[in-house]
Structure 1
Amino acid sequence: MKTQTMTLVVAAALLAVPAAHAAQIALYIDGANYADSNTPAAASAAGVTASGMAFVGLSGGSGGPVRDQFGDINLGGNVPSDDYWYVVNANLDLAADPGVSSAVADDYFGFTLTADAGSQLDLNTLTFDWGFGSNDDALTGTTIGYRVFASVDGGSFVSLGVESFNGDVAIDTWVDGTAGNYDLSGLGLTTDGGSVEFRVQTFSTSSGGGVMQAFQNISVDGALVAVPEPSSTALIGLAGLGFILRRRR
């Protein structure tokens, strides 16, 4: 009977902690036109501050990174295009995969999501569309790719994964790359009012000014979790203490 009472008290305390429900936390580059490299989020959940897009040490080519065309290439393969993507011009790409130990200090684009005070971020997935092409010359045996990193609460960046294409690319042709889909559950919860920063480093064995890769529909899903009230935590602790004392009698 005592054990049942203890179980019920603890269960009641746990139920007092708000449950998390997965939903879209933020969306970037939704196909609409934006004026400059500091692109704002297209959408963000209530209780979350989504930074503008950082664009560090890179080039989007003539006209900036938010484009619907790159030379004669209609981004996304749409004609007419009017479908805007986030472009990284290969003339400032890294020459090779930066690897999992990259400091990600330069040559990246990315953004930061911050929870309001009293809440924590519990993220599930990062997804986006990816494509590439060459406006100047056909490419033979070329590697084009990117690596994604994340940092929780200002900590060290960890690699979430890498994607690359190796092969031939016809001139003035849009190529659909493999869509990005990354599991974020291993990042764990942020602190109260904490943040998660994402950075993407692009690389290509061709540094030609006509080579580019582009990203769109960058979406982060997860939950905003309310920090448990001290009373709930105290209730669990008191229930456990009471149970221990009763066991000693």
Structure 2
Amino acid sequence: MKKTKFIPGLAACFAATSLSSPAAVLIAGIDTWASTTAPTPTAAAGITATATASATGGDWSNSDGTGRGSSDDGTWGTTGLGTPSSTVSDVGSANFTLTNAKTDGQITITIVNGSGLDIDLDSFHFDALAFRPKAARTYAVNVLAGSDITVGTVASSEGNPQNDNSTNDITHLGGSLSGHNQHDDLDIDLTGLADSILEAGGTAIFQLAFSNGVGDSSGGHHLFLDNVAVSGDFIPIPEPSSIALLGLSGLALLRRRR
């Protein structure tokens, strides 16, 4: 993990330079689902992103009800990230569906940072909704592997009883879907990782995992998923004038100490 060491007396001077504050942007995201096993992510410039999908008892579906479970709010989770997600909602590939109460399903996104800049990871985003309560509504966001970021579970829901909509599990509608804006819009904070910096040239593998489905093949107990993304801040390289100013300030401080 890279760490920045601030010498007392220099931080204020460094902050006054021409470095601008970064803003979280879309690093990689999936909002169209042309493949049931290897959906193709959209990625920021310099980023290579790939994805895989799997489930117990069969694959995810991208043809359920011509996109009836898709989200059309144009956001990733609750945010736009400067790159709106797709608002298409009338084709099957507009959303991913874990059908008929399958016990579990996973999506992984592999990100290779070829941008030349370090990335301060910000959040993992997704929109999800259950048609009926026996769907796999318990979720976890995990970092499966990383060349430099912290590996492990980032967040997970409580896994409470099927009919309970008062927890932080995915909301179910009891079979009364109406429209394309009823999803739980979730943003999972990545800044709490011990190391949340994806360094230039580094790789990270994220997993979104759903579980606790009942496995009942009847009744349409589906989990709908859309707008899955990872966001972060590209860390700018200091301009030469900023580095020079910092160096001069350091010399001045050393002279004062002498």
TM value normalised by structure 2: 0.63
1:224 alignment partner AA: F
Number of the residue aligned with 2:188: 182
Tell me which residue corresponds to 1:88. Answer: 98
1:198 counterpart residue number:
206
Q: Residue 26 of structure 2 contacts residue 43 of structure 2 at CA under 8 Å; is this kept in 1?
A: yes
| Deviation digits for residues 106-140 of structure 1 (CA, Å, limit 9, x no counterpart) | x6322022322521112223322112235xxxx67
Do the aligned partners of 2:10 and 2:249 also contact (CA within 8 Å) in 1?
no
- Distance in 1 (alpha carbons) for counterparts of 2:128 and 2:114: 31
Letter in 1 for 2:28: A
1:110 corresponds to which letter in structure 2?
Answer: T
Q: Which residue of 1 is the match for residue 84 of structure 2?
A: none
Structure showing greater radius of gyration is 1
Greater strand proportion: 1
Distance 1:225 1:163, change over 3 A: farther
* CA distance, structure 1, for counterparts of residue 10 and residue 174 of structure 2: 68
Structure 1: unaligned runs, 5 residues or longer:
1-5, 95-106
**Larger CA deviation: 184-193 vs 170-179:** 170-179
Tell me how far apart the structure 1 counterparts of residues 120 and 26 of structure 2 sit (CA, whole Å): 11
- What is the alpha-carbon distance in structure 1 between the residues aligned to residue 190 and residue 252 of structure 2? 38
Q: Which amino acid aligns with 1:75?
A: G
Question: Which residue identity lines up with residue 192 of structure 2 in the other structure?
Answer: G
Amino acid at match of 2:146: D
Which residue is 1:213 aligned to?
Answer: 223
Write the deviation string for residues 123-158 of structure 1: whole angstroms up to 9, x where unpaired.
223322112235xxxx67x87321112357344222
Find the counterpart in structure 1 of residue 29 from structure 2: 27
For 1:148, which of 137, 141, 149 is the aligned residue? 141
Equivalent position to 1:69, from 65, 69, 87: 65
Q: Secondary structure at the match of 2:13?
A: helix
Q: Which has the higher helix share?
A: 1
| Residue segments in structure 2 that go unaligned for 5+ positions in a row | 1-7, 73-88, 165-171
Identical aligned residues as a percent? 21
* Structure 2 counterpart of 1:112: 110
Alpha-carbon distance between aligned partners in 1 of 2:130 and 2:250, rounded to the nearest angstrom: 58
Structure 1 144/10 Cα, relative in aligned 2: closer, same or farther at 3 Å?
Answer: closer
Q: What one-letter code is carried by the residue in structure 2 that aligns with 1:217?
A: N
Q: Contact (CA 8 Å) 1:76, 1:131: kept in 2 or not?
A: no
Give the CA deviation at 1:40. 0.6
Query: TM-score scaled to structure 1, two decimals?
Result: 0.65
Q: CA, structure 1 residues 54+14, in 2 after alignment: closer, same or farther (shift >3 Å)?
A: farther
How many correspondences in the alignment?
217
